[in-house]
Structure 1
Amino acid sequence: MTTSTSSESPAAAPLLDLHALVVAVRRRRRLWCSMAVLGLLAGTALAVLLPEPPTAVTKVLVAHQEDQPNDPGTLIRTDVALLQTTRIADKALRSLDSPVKPEDFMRDYTGVGLTNNLLQITVTADSDAEAVTRAKALADAFVADHVRRIQDAANAESKALLDQRDRMQTELAQVNKSIGSGSPDSGPKASADLESLFARRAELTSRITDFSQRAAEARVGTPQLVAGTQIVDAPRAVRHSLPRTAATNGVIGLVLGLVLGLAVAALGTVVADRPVLRREIAANLGASIIAELPRRPRRLWRRRRIRVARERLTASLARTVRNSAEPVSLLELGCARGASVIALDLAVALAADGPVVVIDGLPGRQLAGRRQKPGDPTVVGGERAATLSHQDLRLGVGSVSPGTAWTDLQYLGTQTVLVVRAGHGSAAWLHTVARQLADQRIPVIGVVLIDPDPRDRTDGTLWDGLHTALRGQIERLARQHGTGPRRTERLPMWAARVPDSDQEAR
């Protein structure tokens, strides 16, 4: 038996098998379902233990001088930022005669820009009445501050324009004085200077008129902005429904727990690398899946199906043992109890042909330490395996879990049937089991898969696995009759590698 475990090229194997990942995550449904339920309970408990405080809400219409139809919301975001300042909080607290610090009060309210000109203010307090009062004071303080900033900006602009007009009027007075004190001579140079002064006077007069109009216009738009900034939705208390809040938090916790559970299950599956599909288990062990046995169901109407499957498995293994010229053992991986039950059923089925002795090589002496019932086969410990008579039919039961004494497995049986629970052993350990059994010259007749995935449709047959086991059996029969050559150690045969270039081929 060689340790080659797959007939496919390693390059053909995908880096991440999505089918195997989905199956492995589905098998861990207890994990992510538990985390989803835990998230549901946590969200519901959070709503009950930490209820929302009394809240009041109000809406303020804010008018801006720089309003544009294509404004991306910069102005309203600026208003929200200004709302979260100590100046606004201090004005609101002063109107309430409250001793609370502005920094502490700022944690109790928030502002949200609903549109480019509509601001929503939400305030929390110890009671609904206090929340409404705080919201009214905060909205009034914001409106007053906004109006004051508009008026200050308009006054500053108007003052700058009027100051410029006054400077020009001073210059105009000087020009008029120069014109009035001009020389009566009518020479060419005097005429040119006088004409220049008249032109300068006309220009200054025009600019003075323009600045006066602009100063007046700067004050004209201010009343419209002041009137446009107002409270459009009076402060009111927000009614909280505990069942609705609990349901909302529960759904959010359920979704978050489910997503977290699926992520943890997927990550654990990738890291653990434990084969679940028939195809992967057969390829890693180098032996075909010859039978399957579902796990014990909780529903009563499905137990009959499991009983029929166990009877069919027992009959199949009994035929295999009867046709074998050498002792056969059952080696378990992750299903010691299941292997014990299968061994006892098989021993009872073989007892009709003669005395059967079951050799218990399982950790903890699960079979040898049990109470014998009438009709049960004889069970002995693994230490007495070498002293048994060859006349009795021997059936060994052992384990290939980590820590197994590999050299003792040949005393349980020179041929074996592996009883493996799907998703228990890692791919590396399955390779180790196949390699150790090959070193001990113990052919693997096949694999009995315990608790397979019911939706697994992959093929668990290796076309060279059974051929290898039967070839080993034929060689053993030939050696017993003395007609065959002595078996020599067969080294693993690897597939020929195709060279990548002419130089590598040379």
Structure 2
Amino acid sequence: MTGPASQPQPLLDLSRLLATVRRRRRLWLSFGLAGLVMGALLAVLVPTPPTAVARLLIVHENDQPTDGGSLMRTDIALLETTKIAAATLRSLRLNESPEEFLKTYEGTGVTSNVLELKVEAATDADAIARAQALADTFIADHKSRIQTAAGAQARAFDEQRDRAEQELARIDAAIAGKPADTGGQTAAELETLYGRRAELASQISELARQAEEAAVGAPEVVAGTQIVDAPRIVPNSLLLGAATNSAVGLVLGLAVGLSVAAVSGVVRDRPVLRRDISTAIGAPVIAQLRASGSRLWRRKRAERERDRIAAVLARLVGTERSAVALLELGCAKTAEALARSASAKLAEGGPVLGVGSVSPATEWTDLPRLGERAVLVVRAGHAPAAWLHTVARQLADLGITVLGVVLVDPDPADHTDGTLWDGLHSALRAAGRGPSWPRNGELPTLRLAPVSVNGKGFRRGELPGRPPRESNPDPHETQG
């Protein structure tokens, strides 16, 4: 059987990334726990200072239903200026700098006309006093700006009226200078002057009225702008603050931890999935062994799985005519335990099972002494893909055939296939019998029987060893 044509590898494999993040759950859970603890400690060690809140009703001359909050944003920007802060500090007779005082209060637009002030201070009384002074200062500044604008407009009307009166005086002088007994031309000029005089008199009267109205200002704006909610202290609960800070710290810690785990997983490129490890080494995954936990039932389950895999290895080694090496990468104790269990199941005087390592700084020239064929015991996520390629290349250069890989501590959610359909067909084959190549040049199909576990089923993701050959019946034996 041959596999499909190789597909181009994606730049970012989502399944590989998720497996890496799941495998490094201790890292991002530690970050989340650290954020949780730091948030709780921050709430205890740095409690929220007393905060006073007040609400103001701000009336604008140009209020429109479709304003969109631009006038309120302007008021908030004016509130957070050093001019307002300095005036408030002067009213409180404090020597604090306006820049520092600006950091202790903020304004929030509740509606287009309601402004909420929040002021922090060392004590409750100080917070209320500062909030009251800030509200009074801002209202006074708002009214002052309205009065200043009204006064400027009134002065502009007065200046226009003065210019009109000066022109009216010149026209009166021109009319007085005309002789009484004149001809038709003089009569036309007088008519024009009298018309201009009447127009100027009406304009002067209108400008005087507008100047008086402008001087009055906008009384509805001045009267409407006021404090609608007196300053009061915001209730502060240490337990609620600790819970809020802890939740925020937990979320931030998990976000940072997940980001670090994802980025480090992509950068380090340490295969976790069966498919990736099988492809990197160039040999199929014949079995997998979960890591033994610290709890008793997990240790017993791991021992049962190790004994079962040791039986598979013993059957595999028993079919080989030469010694077989058990080479570990990142799991020396597990490989040693597997070797002991497999050796105990081998017949005395039978094949030899050598144990070695292919970790960095390995003496490669000593490995052929352990056996011409090898089974690799690899811990998932331990070695980078480059080192797995190096191991496969070095073993191939030494003439050591890799029968298969025993994967230790695999990802529980790994559903990938660890079989190499287009790789070397050497797994679980006898050493003295070469592969038989069909005449059509295609690779032969390897058919394996499942491994029975106490007659109750089969383990998923594990390939068995070749069962021992049955002895041929004696042709001379009589049939009963």
Q: Do they fold alike, i.e. is TM over 0.5? A: yes
1:181 aligns with 2:181: no
1:434 to 382, 392, 407: 392
Decide which of 445, 465, 483 is 2:403's aligned counterpart: 445
Instruction: Give the equivalent residue in structure 1 for 2:288.
Output: 292
Letter in 1 for 2:371: G
Mapped to 2, the partners of 1:464 and 1:151 lie a distance apart of: 89
User: Does 1:344 pair with 2:340?
Assistant: yes
Q: Corresponding residue for 2:356?
A: 398
Secondary structure (helix, strand or coil) at the match of 2:416 reads coil
SS at match of 1:417: strand
Distance 1:70 1:264 in 2: 47
Distance in 2 separating the partners of 1:305 and 1:33:
26
1:354 equivalent in alignment to 2:312 = no
Tell me the CA shift for residue 307 of structure 1.
2.8
SS at match of 1:12: coil
What is the rounded CA distance, in whole Å, between the counterparts of 2:276 and 2:122 in structure 1?
A: 63
Give the Cα separation in 1 of the matches to 2:82 and 2:258: 46
Q: Match of 1:60, as an amino acid? A: L
Partner of 1:71: 67
Give the CA deviation at 1:195: 1.7
Matches within 5 A, 1:111-126: 111-126=107-122
Secondary structure of 2:103 counterpart: helix
- What's the TM-score once normalised by structure 2's chain length? 0.86
Query: How many Å separate the matches in 2 of 1:470 and 1:247?
Result: 58
1:234 aligned partner, one-letter code: A
How much does 1:91 deviate?
Answer: 2.7
Alignment match, 1:92: 88
CA displacement at 1:86 relative to structure 2 = 3.3
What does the per-residue CA deviation read over 1:176-225, in whole Å, with 9 as the maximum and x for residues that have no partner? Answer: 23223322233232122112112211221232232223223324552111
Equivalent position to 2:253, from 241, 251, 257: 257
Instruction: Structure 1 unaligned segments of length 5 or more: list them.
Output: 1-5, 356-391, 479-506
C-alpha separation between the residues in 1 aligned to 2:193 and 2:25? 97
Aligned pairs (5 A) from 1:128-143: 128-143=124-139
Offset from partner CA, 1:450-485 (integer Å, 9 cap, x none): 01111111111113545235678246899xxxxxxx
Partner in structure 2 of residue 408 of structure 1: 366
Q: Please say if residues 146 and 217 of structure 2, whose CA atoms lie closer than 8 Å, have aligned partners that are also in contact.
A: no
Corresponding position of 2:456: none
Alpha-carbon offset, residue 108 of structure 1:
2.3
Contact conserved, 1:328 with 1:416, CA < 8 A, in 2?
yes
Distance in structure 1 (CA, Å) of the matches to 2:330 and 2:357? 9
SS in 1 for 2:400: coil
Change (3 A) 1:44 1:165: same
Residue aligning to 2:330: 334
Cα distance per residue 1:366-411 (max 9 Å; x no partner): xxxxxxxxxxxxxxxxxxxxxxxxxx74221111111111111000
CA distance in 2, matches of 1:409, 1:116: 81
Name the stretch that deviates more: 188-197 or 84-93.
Answer: 84-93
Take 2:306 and 2:53, find their aligned partners in 1: how far apart are those partners? 69
* Structure 2 residue matching 1:274: 3-state secondary structure: coil
Say if 2:314 and 2:342, in contact at 8 Å, map to a contact too: yes
The percentage of aligned residue pairs carrying the same residue is 54
Q: Distance in 2 between matches of 1:35 and 1:435?
A: 39
Question: 2: CA distance between counterparts of 1:101 and 1:446?
Answer: 75
Q: How much does 1:144 deviate?
A: 1.2
Alpha-carbon separation, structure 1, partners of 2:362 and 2:65? 79
Among 19, 31, 36, which residue is 1:35 paired with? 31
For 1:326 and 1:470, how far apart are their aligned partners in 2? 14
CA spacing shift, 1:9–1:219, aligned 2, 3 Å:
farther
Q: CA deviation at 1:437?
A: 0.7
In the alignment, is residue 269 of structure 1 matched against residue 227 of structure 2?
no
Residue equivalent to 2:208: 212
**TM-aligned CA distance change 1:101 to 1:280, over 3 Å:** closer
Q: Which runs of 5+ in 2 are unaligned?
A: 437-480
Q: Which residue of 2 aligns with 1:494?
A: none
Deviation by residue 1:28-58 (Cα, 9 ceiling, x = unmatched): 0000000000000001100100001111111
Q: 1:225 to 1:82 in 2, by over 3 A?
A: same
Contact 2:372 2:401 in 1 (8 A): yes
Residues of 1 paired with 2:225 and 2:410: CA distance? 71
* One of 415, 423, 448 as aligned partner of 1:457: 415
> Secondary structure, in 3 states, of the residue corresponding to 1:70?
coil
Matched, 1:150 2:146: yes
For residue 19 of structure 1, what is the aligned residue in structure 2? 15
Q: What CA deviation, in whole Å up to 9, does each residue of 1:58-89 have, x standing for no partner?
A: 11111222323222333323322322333323
Q: Which residue of 2 aligns with 1:375?
A: none
- Is the 2:321–2:432 Cα contact (8 Å) retained in structure 1? no
Counterpart-to-counterpart distance in 1, 2:402 and 2:99? 76
Normalising by the residue count of structure 1, what TM-score does the alignment of the two structures yield?
0.81
What RMSD in Å do the two structures reach over aligned CA positions? 2.2
The answer for the alignment partner of 1:54 in structure 2 is 50
Q: Is the 1:111–1:120 Cα contact (8 Å) retained in structure 2?
A: yes
CA distance in 1, matches of 2:322, 2:429: 14
Going from structure 1 to structure 2, the CA distance change for 1:219 and 1:343 (only over 3 Å counts) comes to: same
Structure with a larger share of its residues in helix = 1
3-state SS of 2:407 partner: strand
Q: How far apart, CA to CA, are the structure 1 residues paired with 2:4 and 2:325?
A: 29
Say if 1:293 and 1:449, in contact at 8 Å, map to a contact too.
yes
Partners of 2:170 and 2:199 lie apart in 1 by 14
Per the alignment, do residues 465 and 319 of structure 1 end up closer, same or farther by CA in structure 2, a change over 3 Å counting? farther
Q: How many residues align?
A: 435
Distance 1:268 1:290, change over 3 A: same
Higher mean alpha-carbon deviation, 143-152 vs 333-342, is at 143-152
2: CA distance between counterparts of 1:85 and 1:443?
78
Whether the aligned pair in 2 keeps the contact of 1:443 and 1:472 (CA below 8 Å) is no
Moved more, 65-74 or 278-287: 65-74
